[in-house]
Amino acid sequence: MSLVNAAVSEPELAFTLCDAALLERLSGLSMPLTARDCMAALGWRETVLPEKLADRALDRIHFGNEFCERLLPHRPQLERVVDWSVEQGLGVTLLTPMLADRGIDLLPRLLERLPEQSEVVVNDWGVLRLLREQFTRLCPVAGRQMGKMIKDPRLPSAEWASAIPPGMQSSLYPKLMRRFGIESAETDIRPFAEPADLQPNGLRLSVHLPYGYTLKGRICKPGSLSLDKQQKFMPGHSCQKECLVYFSRMQRTGCQSPHELPSFLRGNTIFYRHGEEQQRVLAEALQQGWVNRLVLAGDWNENRCAD
């Protein structure tokens, strides 16, 4: 499934990478890197961009994970990605999830390794405070979890979705972000989206595709695969990062709405795949020049399976 082939403005292109071990697959590609080549190298069965954008060179690598503290990269992994990205002339963005105290304590060793003016996607007020107090040379970006909205892929009608419109369209949202030095925000395209969801509201906008996240928690289904029955589906167990190679498709056996979007579980997070409505909304936003950056899911997606 690909976006409508329309005459679009040209936003920046970013590619997400969670598993640093897969960098070798990108390193073996001819330069400059294109979205099409990167997606093929990481096992995608299709390209989710119009031809015009699919063959354009990437501008940036987003490294890390937005949803799980256990996927916070180790410093050698980050150094490897940073050195490679700088060598290729690519910008670097570090993705960070919500973090408990242990994660906050580990984060400075990563932040100090980032080049000047690198971006850090924040989904946690504690991380934002750390950046503003100790790492002012870095650029915070409001992550997807900072902009609340209803994103249940099972919604039967637009009336349900309208109950909580995207929080980032509130007049107070950009004012609050600017108080913390934030000039950019990332977002999903919700079920029953409207083009107005992606209108500029005083912040540069990055849009994720072809997936949105609907919810996250502390329980990790793939992380419970090797555990005894009594220990399954509980927080606090050891982690072998099974989510990097396994995912679960989700399908209801009962009555489904014709508007229901395909969904899957990766780690502790449920995602939905864009349908025609999300593609149409994004195509219109691109035509209007509202989107500053497209963020393509890299290795943490439904196509990524154990080799």
> Residue 214 pLDDT more than 80?
yes
User: What letter does residue 113 receive in the DSSP assignment?
Assistant: T
What is the average pLDDT value for the chain, to the nearest integer? 88
The tokens of 277 are what? 């409505």
HSE toward the beta carbon, residue 145, CA cutoff 13 A? 20
> Residue 3 pLDDT more than 60?
no
Q: Which residue has the higher pLDDT, 175 or 244?
A: 175
Positive or negative: CA dihedral 110, 112, 297, 22:
negative
- Under the banding of pLDDT at 50, 70 and 90, the label for residue 2 is very low
169: alpha, beta or left, given left = phi > 0 and alpha = psi -120 to 50?
A: alpha
Answer whether 0.85 is exceeded by the pTM. Answer: yes
- Under 8 Å between Cβ of 27 and 45: no
- DSSP string for 153-203: TT--SHHHHTTS--GGGSTHHHHHHHHTT--EEEE---TT--GGGGS--SS
C-alpha 266/C-alpha 302 separation (Å) is: 8
- DSSP string for 38-105: HHHHTT-SS--S-HHHHTSBP-EEEEE-SS-GGGPPPHHHHHHHHHHHHHTT-EEEEE-----HHHHH
Using only C-alpha atoms, the chain has a radius of gyration, in whole angstroms, of 19
- Under 8 Å between Cβ of 220 and 276: no
pLDDT value of residue 235: 66
The tokens of 274 are what? 């864009």
- Could you give all domains of the chain from N- to C-terminal order, each with its CATH number? 12-211+274-296 (3.20.20.70)
Coil vs helix vs strand at 243: helix
> Residue 99 pLDDT more than 70?
yes
Q: How far is CA 109 from the centre of its chain?
A: 22
37-78 pLDDT, tens digit each = 998 898 887 777 777 788 999 999 999 999 999 999 999 999
Longest dimension (CA), the chain: 55
Mean pLDDT of 220-248: 74
The tokens of 283 are what? 């195509």
Mean pLDDT of 99-111: 95
